[in-house]
């Protein structure tokens, strides 16, 4: 059974890498459309969002994809913490968009699903052996930090 968990963990880590590539590309295409009006694949701007909200939206999406990819490939030990901060920011932005601007009937379900996704990925980044091996141990839950002995 442990081999099955290793394979699933490896697959999930690759899924996060793939999703980060999508996020980075989506963010860059969003900026391209925002600043130039060009939409090479499809329109990405939401006309119900004010301009400033849309800019923050693209900054967070682009930064999330780029941060995870850079952190993953450079083995940056603070990647899980950086992603937690970015996920909290994305969830906040999504809450503002959901409750203030969006009008589609699935907006609340989509918001909840997005938050669940952030929780699952964050938990995996902090708790999985695979990510601890990749990034190092960021923090031990319940551990008391050691302090130097003064003699």
Q: Is residue 18 part of a domain?
A: yes
pLDDT at 89: 98
**Number of Cβ within a 10 Å radius of residue 24:** 20
pLDDT value at residue 149: 44
Is 148 inside a domain boundary? no
Structural domain includes residue 103: yes
- Residue 147 lies inside a defined structural domain of this protein: no
- Residue 149 lies inside a defined structural domain of this protein: no
Residue 91 resides in a domain: yes
Number of domains within the chain: 1
**Token match 């940056």: residue?**
76
pLDDT profile of the chain (151 residues), mean per 10:
87 97 97 93 90 93 98 96 98 96 95 98 95 81 50 37
Q: What is the pLDDT of residue 145?
A: 55
Full residue range of the structural domain in which residue 119 is found: 2-135
């Amino acid at each position: 059974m442990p081999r099955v968990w290793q394979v699933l963990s490896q697959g999930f880590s690759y899924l996060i890498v793939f999703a980060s590539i999508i996020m980075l590309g989506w963010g860059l295409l969003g900026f391209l459309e925002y600043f130039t009006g060009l939409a090479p694949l499809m329109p990405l701007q939401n006309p119900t969002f004010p301009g400033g909200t849309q800019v923050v939206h693209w900054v967070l999406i682009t930064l999330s994809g780029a941060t995870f990819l850079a952190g993953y490939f450079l083995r940056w030990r603070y990647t899980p913490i950086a992603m937690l901060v970015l996920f909290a920011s994305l969830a906040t932005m999504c809450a503002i968009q959901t409750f203030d601007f969006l009008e589609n009937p699935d907006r609340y379900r989509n918001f909840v699903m997005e938050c669940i996704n952030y929780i699952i990925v964050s938990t995996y980044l902090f708790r999985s052996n695979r990510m601890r091996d990749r990034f190092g141990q960021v923090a031990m839950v319940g551990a008391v930090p050691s302090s130097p002995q003064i003699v």
